[in-house]
Amino acid sequence: MDEADVEGDLVSILFTEEQIQTRLEELAAEIEKDYQGKEILLVGVLRGAVMVMADLARHFGRHVEMDWMAISSYGSGTKSSGVVRILKDLDTDITNRHVLVVEDIIDTGLTLSWLVSNLTSRGPASVEICTLLRKPDALQMTVEVRYVGYDIPNEFVVGYGLDYAERYRNLRCVGTLAPHVYS
């Protein structure tokens, strides 16, 4: 789905498909350099991170494993509830593994702080985070985010995996949702 298919629903396009791919390629190169000689387990957070995971993983020129977790945070609104629940756990035992959490967006960071402490308690060799997008509030997080695609303003965005009420995930670009859609 392109911008034209959701005409009037976006206030602006923040990142085009090309810009997203270029940035993911840069991040993959950086990650490859940092993890030389180490096996990487990419952990994607469903459902928003599906697109980031698929494209980031394919930018690597080496093997990476992938696993998924599903956790609930937002429901169908645009505000973080702060309540985190595991809907689907990892299939992989991460003891002594180098885990790289792949996220679509970090807003308050509540979800991720919870996830990182949950994963850390399982005895991995390391846990790092890679996110395509980060909002300003996330900077107050205690958890350090090693790889960030783009810092964005504090607005509700959709596309490239990010939804509003389960819609817009298949939009190729990332755009700011017009308030009339959710108010």
Residues forming the active site: 107
Place of tokens 């509003």: 164
Closest approach, Cβ 55 to ligand IMP, in A, equals 17
How many chain residues touch ligand IMP (CB under 6 A)? 18
Chosen residue from 80, 118, 120, 126 binding ligand IMP by CB under 6 A: 80
Chosen residue from 20, 52, 111, 129 binding ligand IMP by CB under 6 A: 111
Residues 140-169 that bind ligand IMP (CB under 6 A): 156-158, 162
Q: What is the DSSP string of 81-105?
A: ----EEEE--SS--TT-EEEEEEEE
Residues 57-76 that bind ligand IMP (CB under 6 A): 73-74
CA 87, CA 71: separation in Å to the nearest integer? 5
130-to-31, 49, 99, 115, 181 alpha-carbon distances in Å: 9, 10, 10, 13, 29
Q: Does 128 bind ligand IMP (CB under 6 A)?
A: no
Q: Does 131 bind ligand IMP (CB under 6 A)?
A: no
The answer to whether the beta carbons of residues 106 and 145 sit under 8 Å apart is: yes
CA 130, CA 127: separation in Å to the nearest integer? 10
Q: Does 9 bind ligand IMP (CB under 6 A)?
A: no
Q: Does 48 bind ligand IMP (CB under 6 A)?
A: yes
